[in-house]
Amino acid sequence: MEASKEIVSAAHDIFKKIAQSYHDKDLDGMMKLYVQDPDLVAIGAGRDEWVKGPEELKDGLKRDMSQAEKIKVDFEDITVSSSGNVAWVSARMAMDVLVEDKDITMFGRLSLVLIEQEDKWLITHLHFSVPDEQEEGKSYPV
């Protein structure tokens, strides 16, 4: 379902704020992008990166920010759809980090579910995945 220009703009603004908050290691700024609800779910690429609720999210984001010396995030191919006060958003994401004096780039896919609360769009669900290394055209990494 096609999203309005206002919702598309709000979603793009959230992506900009995610990138800026990671770059600045601004935990409070990042937390302001999420609903403060125990049903919040954020799933990262690591096996243990499945958090529920704001406190677990805050701990996970602290870990992300503390384990990298630098973080740079870029998004492309952003899609935005919506119905009522819910929007679902996806993008390709590149995360460049400096960890233990090594430059690492993680190419992944990010999907968000946003909800409008009090005239503000907030993340209520996040899923970041890193594609497996199967050959193009193959469904499984054989």
Per-residue pLDDT reduced to its tens digit, 73-82 = 999 999 999 9
The confidence score (pLDDT) of residue 22 equals 98
Closest C-alpha among 29, 25, 55 to residue 42 = 55
Q: What percent of the chain has pLDDT over 90?
A: 91
Note whether residue 18 is domain-resident. yes
Instruction: For residue 124, give its domain range.
Output: 5-129
Note whether residue 139 is domain-resident. no
CB 142 within 8 A of CB 53: no
CB 56 within 8 A of CB 49: no
d(CA 60, CA 26): 13
d(CA 4, CA 81): 8
Note whether residue 90 is domain-resident. yes
The confidence score (pLDDT) of residue 55 equals 98
Task: Tell me the average pLDDT across 86-97.
Answer: 98
Judge whether residue 12 has pLDDT over 90.
Answer: yes
The confidence score (pLDDT) of residue 132 equals 82
We report the CATH number of the domain holding residue 36 as 3.10.450.50
Task: Tell me the average pLDDT across 90-115.
Answer: 97
Residue 132 neighbours by CB under 8 Å, 6+ apart? 141
Note whether residue 26 is domain-resident. yes
Note whether residue 134 is domain-resident. no
The confidence score (pLDDT) of residue 140 equals 87
Note whether residue 118 is domain-resident. yes
The confidence score (pLDDT) of residue 104 equals 96
Note whether residue 137 is domain-resident. no
d(CA 15, CA 28): 16
Letter string b/e over residues 99-132, b meaning 16 or more CB atoms within 10 A of that residue's CB: eeeeeeeeebebebbbbeeeeebbbbbbbbeeee
Judge whether residue 90 has pLDDT over 90.
Answer: yes
Note whether residue 135 is domain-resident. no
57: three-class secondary structure by DSSP: helix
Tally of structural domains, the chain: 1
